[in-house]
Structure 1
Amino acid sequence: MIRWLVAIFSLFAIAAGAASAEPVDFVRDVRPILQKHCYECHAGDVRKSGLRFDIRSEAMKGGEIYGASIVAGKPEESPLWSFVADEEADLAMPPEGDRLTAADIGTLRRWIEEGAVWPDGVDTVKLEDPRDHWSFRQIESPPVPSVKQTAWPKNEIDHFILAKLEQLQLAPSAPATRTEWLRRVTFDLIGLPPTPQEVEAFHNDQADGAYERVVERLLASPRYGERWAQHWLDVVRYADTHGFEVNTERPNAWPYRDYVIEAINQDLPYDQFIRQQLAGDTMNANAATGFLVTASVLLPGQIGKDEPSKRLARQDSLDEIVTNIGTTFLGLTVHCARCHNHKFDPISQREYYQMQAFVSGVEYEDREIARPQGDMQADQLHRWTERAREVALELARHAPLADSTSPRAMINSYENVDRFAPVRTTQIRFHVKSTNSLEPCIDELEVFNADGQNVALAQLGGKVSASGERRSPKRHDLRFVNNGVYGNSSSWMSSEVGGGWVSVEFPQPEWIEFVAWGRDRQGKFTDRLAVDYVIEALGENGQWIRVADSTNRRPFDISKNSHTPIEVDSLSEEEQAEVRRLLEEKETLAKKLSRLEEKQLVFAGKFRRPDEIHVLSRGNPEMPKEQVSPGVPEVLGVTALAQDASEASRRIALADWIVSKSNPLTARVMVNRIWQGHFGMGLVETANDFGHNGVPPTHPELLDWLSAEFMQSGWSLKRMHRFIVLSAAYRQGGDYNADAAALDADDLLLWRFPPQRQMGEVIRDSILAINGNLNLEMGGPGFSLFDKRGGLTGYAPIETFGEEGLRRMIYSHRVRRERDAIFGAFDCPDYGQSTSRRRESTTSIQALNLFNSRFVLDQSGVLAERLRAEHPEPAAQINAVYGLVLLREPSPQELTEATAFVNEHGLQTLCRVLFNSNEFLFIR
């Protein structure tokens, strides 16, 4: 009370003393006070709480915490005056140093009472309009510049590049050699090295269009989608764990990765690519919505049970979605406006929460999708099925004959093989005498001839008949017994309890060697299994001849229904190794087929009624302010929906706005990412930030010309790739030019092709490809790089890989915050943050990993074995390894030194040395 009385009397005294004074002048009386006491924290680049007092418009607007700082005529409602007048206010100002005198406080009060007159033209600095920024301007295709060296350009790109060079009196570099260009473009487009055969074929193709033919071949390769999906997944923070401290496994994230690969391979127009990732559930592309939830998240059981903790976790999850949308599609740090207006770009806090409202019905959960998804998984199903048949045939040839005295495997529900001496017949009958329970059931009866062909198939003319009547036309019909489909849902079942027979008649006589059959080769059912049976062939005189039966099999033990088709120990050592390899492959294939045939889950957007979204003071969910409806930043256009708009309509509207040709960012951002993928750096260095805090483009006219072309050509990524890699700028050599470097040390103007180190994944894949043991199987769950697939800590790296682990590295199981033990040293991201461009560090760990790791040791040994098998002479082996790894012959000096080196240290060590060489690791 005393403090307030003193303050009131002081104010009355100040007011009385000033009653006859002349009006307060801003320049003479007010600005000196602000300069002395406020500018240190609230002027220029220092804007604490987003508040500045050196510019009229900003001072009147206020900061992040309160509204207007100055309310004309109302000192008590003006934070500028109230915070300096009250020494015990929560935000008493200035917080440190000399406080304002009573006279200064009185001057500020009088100035506000008199209307807070701040004349035009007196500000010491001029504030630029943040909306007048190059990236916010509409895309207009500029004219193609003319150049002096008219013979150099191969397309419009070259005119823009050369025009800049000529301005500085620079010239482009000489063209790369054919081998250099082929190596460069092959790595760029598919992430693998060309083979020596491809190099030779390109050198031999001297006809017009040779370069174009190479590019078309690479763009048509399935490897292209794998290569460019890696760039995309870096940006969107894709991983197979949830992140944060718990970092639990996200086992169903991979369908989104497969979707990206397939979409890129199909050259899905980029505008459709965006639409599907935001609203794929409305377009029969459910896996695409995995984009919305690629970032880290805390699951419900991993947060506090109190309501404030839940609200905070929900806010964090929504922020991750807005972050992904802003950085990936728009190249803007929209998320920086979560707690206050953006400090650099014209994005208000309100607009940030309007963006949240578009996705406020999205949850991070698994959802069911149809199987298979897309051409890639359909192709997988076909390839795996065919390979499973091939493996079964190979295994069957190791089974003992029906009359053999050697022990045979027990009958099991999964699969059984009965092999016998070849017999010529037109019909086979499988007669069941007893089962382990109920009526007998067979999912597929396969009869193989000497050529390994299943002649029982209906599509080859096999006709079936059986005892009794069919059980169910939808599941156990007779026609299912030879339709080529495994599993209980496509099987024949007898109507006779414990018995019955089924036969297959062929269109012409066949030499038959073995019969394969099973109760349920998906492994789900073990009942209704034939345990006593006879297999018969129809003789020429019309009599049935027994060719195999169950008597020389071990008795069926239902408690040990294990799959042991062959008694491996009874085979020779050579056969044992082969059979064990086949059995392992068969088990792997069975698991893969089972996954494809089951209902598939994908960790993608799951949608519900949208939350109410409020502006949050300081981003705090416990301090809500006004409710907002979906809307976009005003600087980029106008798209707004009602607060009661449906969930799906919100995401569709957001996608429509992002891909609108009036949106100046979407095309620019993607064209820049494509350019960066080829030249190592984009025309805009900060690929995720096209705002004021980003780096301006080196060639703004070229960026806009390409962006306009991108949209007009139907948003085709492949067309952009063709255009870039067939340009003269891309075809340049990479030789250093000291004079050019003196003017442009970073090669921003592209006076040569900038050398780039390969990504870690490309190095690993290339080593495997050169060895000839790269597994090119596409899609499906990732293979493990560590001994665990999620959890807090303690990830031990796997050092030796089977065939599954020799797939391309994009198919590895990605653990957040855990880089691959070997190739992670080559600047692989940790998947926690968006990686728009991988930096290229040089560390001793990289060299040590490439020389001493178990993986490189093993693969060097594989390559050495291949060389010795293909080339008996040491000189030929050395020539061959140079050709495989470096795509050239060794020089005479290299051959001499390498020969001495191999004699002393071995061929495997030379392979290690070449894998560690800069010539292998860099694109030039």
Structure 2
Amino acid sequence: MKPRLNFVTVLFVACLVCFAFQLTGWNPIEKATRAEASTEQDWLANVALTELRVHPESLTLEHARDGRTVLVSGKTKDGKWVDVTPWAVLMPTSAGVKVHEDGYIFPMTVGTTKITVTVKGVTTELPVNVKSMEAEPVSFVRDVMPILSHAGCNNGTCHGAAKGKNGFKLSLRGYDPDFDYELLIEDISGRRFNRAFPEQSLMLLKPTSEVPHKGGQVIVPGERDYSVIHQWITEGAIPDVETTKRVERLEVLPDSAELAVPGMKQQLIVIAHYPDGTTRDVTREAKFTSSVNEVANVTDKGVVTAERRGETAILTRYEGAYSTNNIIVMGDRRGYKWVETPEYNYIDTHVHNKLKRMKVLPSELCTDEEFVRRIYFDLTGIPPTPAQVRSFLTDKTPSKAKREQLIDALVETSEFVDHWTHKWGDLLQSNRKFLGERGVWLFQQWIHQAIAENRPYDEFVRDLITATGSTYTNPAASYFRVSREYTAAVENTTQLFLGVRFSCNKCHDHPFEKWTQNQYYEFGAFFSDCRVKPGQLPGDEVVYANYT
């Protein structure tokens, strides 16, 4: 009789094996990638570039402080474009512009010039037009506020908290510049500024930790952010909230990117567009967030690094404006070859296009046994009976045709109507808490009838959000017994019918989406005149519009 292995012994051996792999740094998934390129420099040395491309294709510098940076992409022999910005050498052809160490291009003299861009012996040219060498006054709205936001001063964990921090409050993420300016200037008798000796201003001493600051050092003396705030105070800390418009939209380059293997990087550039037609490179002040850090992470400077195969979205936020960029980490797909699969509708086409882009083969078609079980649960919420399964499996009709016939048959059953009545009842919060016993029964019957009649979705929604009168006579009006306040109507309607969570932007601009506080109350205006009053029958209520 063979002795049985002890569970603890097996676990101990497994841990030793894993520990050995850790010591040797061996990873079967990354082995091929490391063999090809152990570092970015090795990767660049091994790749052959045939062409360079610069984004934007040309630069216009409006004034002396208008600094811009560019993206440089290289085309490999197999036709793929990769980011080679870190290795690009930018050399001006004249003294018209200067390239700083951080890669930003600043004007030196008015006129047109060119910059020669070189990577591994491959070159291209970047046209540059300098319009003016006058230095515009530092703007509180467009210069100072973005620095405070990027430093984190107005985050929810700092001075942007509901009650501020240590007696000083800013609007959350700078959504209210007028409020922020008034507090900075007027609070504690204006002691945050010293116009005679700007470097002695509390607004500079605190973030640089020259005086005790619980937030630590968020601005370094002598660097760009410090210099901008110092210059603004020197110029008199002039307000421009009433005269200067904030950013209208963001343009993030590239709008999407595909990274071949883990470890590869992609630089992002953020251009702010303003209502007056001007633009700014705001990459240094923008905030970046990856939706899936396990796939790719992003630094404060907008450098995306691939971690593993997958897809993520990079959210870029700047002064109340938002933009998203799609990032795909392809990984090792050697041996991949698309297999043509039948398409029966436009949904199949969209799915296949995405699969081709991700280099993923479609799943095998499910068997009839799997299909019949799934479709019964999806459409009726109950499993098929043994007799129904046997009837479907023994049917000699071609599989595609009999599957379509089964779907058509199921949507005509009472089980289908009941199942989807319960689903919509849950979504519309049809319960005794809001509607009472009779109100629930009448509302459920209204939903049941709408589904049984196959009422179009747009008509179903329109009947709900425009319903008025007695909820006993017109049960659709029960929607407003649940959403009695206009705030509840806004949040329920957006989440249920638009798939958008609006609750965050009730008090401030949404921190992770493009929705603003103004949009919340603009949308709320549609429901603000909706009122509910007691009806003539016990438990009944009347929904009406009050325009007074």
Higher relative contact order (CA 8 A, sep 6+): 1
TM-score normalised by structure 1 residue count: 0.28
Query: What TM-score, normalized to structure 2?
Result: 0.44
- Greater strand share, 1 or 2? 2
**Quick check: which has more Rg, 1 or 2?**
1
Greater helix share, 1 or 2? 1
